[in-house]
Amino acid sequence: MKKTSFTLLLTTALLLSIAGCSPQDATTKSSATTANPAQSYADVAAKTRGFTVGALMSANTVYVLFDPQCPHCGHLWQQAQPLLKKVKFVWIPVAFINAKSTPQGAALLAAANPTELMSSHEASILAGTGGIPASASIPSDIEAAIKANTQLLTSMGVESVPYLIAKHSQTGQVVTNTGAMETAALAHLLGLESP
């Protein structure tokens, strides 16, 4: 009986720890209040700037809006890795957690190899060491892009990250998720076979 209670407590703690980051509370998980998911998908596809990883020729694109200072975003980054051969991800930096968010997002957008830099960055975030060093001198176009990404996220009623928006690979319906998730759950949400 004690082992069952401990397992339940541990599972609950794990679920709470992988929720999402918001400007108000880093452990709050919220759901988007977008009235028209198809329009939100089109807006994210057309109006944001990010970097692409995974199956570049995939017909289906998964958009992930993330704050570089969010550990839940780091968890989703790691859990998405086994799916990179099956789907194209576009990681879109936003900035609302702290002063490091914009410079780190800018460094990722400007990187020659954003996949490698993002892997290093997220490993540092998850280790509690703050992420990659980034210059406070940010090109104005990149700073404007991150600001626009953040404004779009807010305009959709999304209050925490990571925020994922994609089309289900089998039904074509727009699916969304706020917060981190495990690889199998992510594959299921996207309509993919588990890796």
Q: How far is CA 57 from CA 26, 52, 61, 88, 169, in A?
A: 35, 11, 10, 7, 14
Query: What is the pTM (predicted TM-score) of this model?
Result: 0.85
- Tell me how far apart the alpha carbons of residues 91 and 135 are, in angstroms, rounded to a whole number: 20
pLDDT at 20: 67
- Tell me how far apart the alpha carbons of residues 86 and 88 are, in angstroms, rounded to a whole number: 7
Residues 32, 37, 103: CA angle, nearest 5 degrees: 60
pLDDT at 7: 36
Residue by residue, pLDDT tens for the chain (195 residues) are 444 443 333 333 343 344 568 665 433 333 445 568 899 999 999 999 999 999 999 988 999 999 999 999 999 999 999 999 999 999 999 999 999 999 999 999 999 999 999 999 999 999 999 999 999 899 999 999 999 999 999 999 999 999 999 999 999 999 999 999 999 999 999 999 766
List the domain boundaries for the chain. 2-190
CATH of domain 2-190: 3.40.30.10
- Tell me how far apart the alpha carbons of residues 164 and 76 are, in angstroms, rounded to a whole number: 10
